[in-house]
A = this chain, B = another copy of it.
Amino acid sequence: MVNKNTESPEQKQPLVKPGIKPPPSKVQMDDIARLAGVSVSTVSRALSHSPLVSAKTQVRIAELAASLKYSVNVGAQNLRRGQNRTVAVVIPYDSSSRQHVSDPFFIGMLGSIADALTLQGYDMLLSRIDAERLDLAAQYCDSGRAVGVIVIGQWRHHDQLNELAARHLPLVVWGAELPKQMYCTVGSDNVEGGSLATGHLLKTGRRRIAFFGDTQMPEVAQRFEGYERAHAALGLPMSEELNVVVPFVAEAAREAVKSLVAKKIAFDAIFACSDLLAITAIGALRDVGLSVPNDIAVIGYDDVDMASYCHPALTTIHQSIEVAGRALVDALLAIQRGDEALPNHLPTRLVIRASA
């Protein structure tokens, strides 16, 4: 009943009037303490399982708290402890075409990251940020809302990411490892993936493999490197005209097919840099009367769920979303602890289905 204020007895009026919301009047540690007949310190200690408070009291207080549906105010706790258990996850979007966020692969990763964070007792703050303003992500750290940032997708924003990292905030990016990069990346082994895909096509007799992707993006560039290596390994030639610039939006794949056909460029296979592109390409091929895999073999990348449901079932390069999420989170928490986290190349796997 007694205020902690020991000055004048009548000075009970809080300086700041609380908002006009008495009904949901939050129960707080004070209340628990009063009801339990102990001090707030004891409650605090009990609730954080301090060995200083007897097991008996701990249980009693825990039950009291539960019955009152009391939960420690995390904001106040963080402030006092000077810590924080929240990670910001950022999905960059292209200000012109917000499209790519719909790519099922990124999306799946979100769930996987959420699970990995939960497992470590962290909360996830999700936000989409204009890819041209990635610097805004720093705010989450500057303002103490998050201890670090995971960016899903490197796109062609290497420089911006480097600048972000220069601000010394814990940062991990899903993407490709690049020379002189100041931030930590986690990504699939793109060179290997590209090589696996291309190798499979070559081994099954395809010789004119169209590459669908935008090599301005580091990950795509590395997949293309795998494409080249697979050719080189077998001493087979490549053709410049088969390297088609296709950004990660479905429509682009459709047009790429059309343009190849219109230009009468001969090809007997497509290696698309995402399943989305591959599936759309298959549709476009069908529209022009080409059959998959008889006329054209098609191979994708990611192995999203839909890859096995579509027709023909998609042969593709599998990246494990679960492993990816865990790796991203582990790397971030390591950096935050002050440990060094090296760029991580996750293994890929060829999944052979019907399309190639």
Residue ranges of A at the interface with B (Cβ–Cβ < 8 Å): 16, 18-19, 21, 23-24, 26, 69-76, 78-79, 82-84, 86, 89, 91, 101-102, 104, 107-108, 110-111, 114-115, 118, 123-128, 138-139, 142-145, 167-169, 250, 276, 279-280, 282-283, 286, 305-306, 309-311, 313, 338
A77 nearest in chain B by CB position: B143
Q: Closest CB of chain B to A292's CB: distance in Å?
A: 10
Residue from the list B71, B82, B125, B310 in contact with A18, Cβ < 8 A: B82
Given that A23-B168, A306-B279 are known contacts, is A127 also in contact with B114, CB under 8 Å in the complex? yes
Residue from the list B72, B139, B169, B279 in contact with A310, Cβ < 8 A: B279
Contact across chains for B143 and A74 when beta carbons are under 8 A apart = yes
A329 to B86 Cα, complex, angstroms: 22
A291 to B15 Cα, complex, angstroms: 74
Contact across chains for A101 and B111 when beta carbons are under 8 A apart = yes
A338 nearest in chain B by CB position: B21
**What are the nearest 9 A-B pairs in CB distance?**
A71-B142, A71-B143, A107-B107, A126-B126, A73-B144, A74-B143, A280-B309, A75-B75, A101-B111
Given that A24-B168, A309-B250 are known contacts, is A123 also in contact with B107, CB under 8 Å in the complex? no
A82 contacts which chain B residues (CB < 8 A)? Answer: 16, 18-19
Given that A79-B75, A82-B18, A123-B127 are known contacts, is A279 also in contact with B142, CB under 8 Å in the complex? no
